[in-house]
Amino acid sequence: MAETGIGHMAGRAFNTLSGGERQLVMLARGLFQDTPIMLLDEPNSHLDFANQHKIMALMQSLARKRKMTVLVTLHDPNLTHYYCDDVILIHEGGVRARGETGKTLTDEVLSCVLGDNIECDMTRKGVFVVVPKFNPDHMNEKVNL
C-alpha cells in the first residue's frame, strides 16, 4: 500500500472507494503478489492525470528493480512512449507494428492506427507528444455536448 500511496485507505471498505481509488487498490494487490510477470489492462482507467503518471512511473521502476516483465494495454500513445520500452500496436484485430517504442511510434504508424487527425511532435523540453492536428477553421465552431 505504501508503494502505491494508498495507506490512508487501509481501513475503508472497497465498495466505498471511488473508481480511481479502486484502481489503485487493485494495482497494490497485484504488486503484493510479487510475480515475475504482471499483466495490466488499462491500469490508468479512472485515474487523474497525476496518478496516471505516478502509476506508470511506479510500474517502470518496479519492473527494473525486480527484473520483472510488465505487459500493459494502453490507449494513450503519450504514456506508452514515455514509460514503455517496447510496443505492439494492435489495430483492427491484427498487429500493425512492433518494436522499440521510440522507433515504432511514428507519425506514419500512429496515423494508420489513430487516423489522420493526429501528429507527433517534440515539446520545447524535448518530450515526445501525440496531439490532435490543429485546424484553425474549427476555432469558431460551437459544439453542443
Give burial (CB, 10 Å; 0-12/13-18/19+) of 39. Answer: exposed
Which DSSP helix (H) or strand (E) runs through 32? helix 19-32
Query: For the whole model, what pTM was predicted?
Result: 0.77
Residue 99: φ, ψ to 5°? 145, -165
Sort 26 into a burial class: Cβ within 10 Å, 0-12 / 13-18 / 19+.
middle
Number of residues in the chain = 145
Domains, the chain, with CATH or none: 1-73 (3.40.50.300), 86-138 (no CATH)
- pLDDT for residue 11: 87
Distance between CA atoms of residues 52 and 45, nearest Å: 8
Rounded Cα distance, 35 and 30, in Å: 8
Report d(CA 134, CA 137) in Å as an integer.
9
Mean pLDDT of the chain: 85
To which residue does cell 472507494 refer? Answer: 17
Q: Is 121 exposed, middle or buried (0-12, 13-18, 19+ CB in 10 A)?
A: exposed
pLDDT in tens, 37-79: 999 998 888 888 988 898 899 889 888 988 999 999 999 999 9
Confidence of residue 2 (pLDDT cuts 50, 70, 90): confident
